[in-house]
Amino acid sequence: MQGFMVPVSQLLGRPGEYRDVTVTAVLPGVGTSLAHVDERPVTAELRLESVIEGVLASGRVRCSARVECARCLRPLETAIDVSVTELFVAPGHEAEADEDAYRVSGSAVDLEPLVRDAVGLALPLNPLCDAACAGLCARCGADLNAGPCGCADDDIDPRWAPLADLGARLAGDG
């Protein structure tokens, strides 16, 4: 095995046969704006099973990711653990017409697209260090988790001023 390429010649055309594999490799370029796998190893523990259409890969993909809190930008580590089940279509089968299908290439399967898709979809889009994270002050950038920053909060957008006047009048009439 080299990287994510796994030979499957002994499985092809033998429905019911299987092989358990563990692949650990680096998967560069997987991430979102706040979460990155980068140069960390990704481990895929899979069962490759021969089926009529090709090879069925099922198992778990695990790695760690570096994330930043979406509110306060504090760096954190998180574990990614995702279950996968995908078909690698062998040449000459009807399912081969699906342009999004994973494919058997010669006598091997390239697990990288499967692992890349699984990890990319499992990364958090808006990670939080804590559900109660107060974030950063929009004016001075201070971490509000450490306490108030002291910025004045009395500026009212002039477009909303008439509503503030109306609210004051209604409160006085109550």
Grouped pLDDT means (10 residues each) for the chain, 174 residues: 80 88 90 86 94 92 94 93 93 68 87 93 92 90 87 72 81 66
Q: How much is the pLDDT for 96?
A: 54
For the chain, the structural domain boundaries read 5-122, 144-173
How many CB atoms within 10 Å of residue 150? 10
| Tokens (6 digits) for 131 | 């559900």
Task: Please state the φ and ψ torsions of residue 124, each to the nearest 5 degrees.
Answer: -70, 135
| Tokens (6 digits) for 157 | 């957008």
Q: How much is the pLDDT for 65?
A: 93
Q: Which residues contact 55 (CB under 8 A, 6 or more apart)?
A: 8, 11, 12, 48, 49, 87, 88, 90, 104, 109
Q: Which residues contact 56 (CB under 8 A, 6 or more apart)?
A: 48, 49, 50, 85, 86, 87, 88
Q: Where are the alpha helices (DSSP H) in 94-160?
A: 112-122
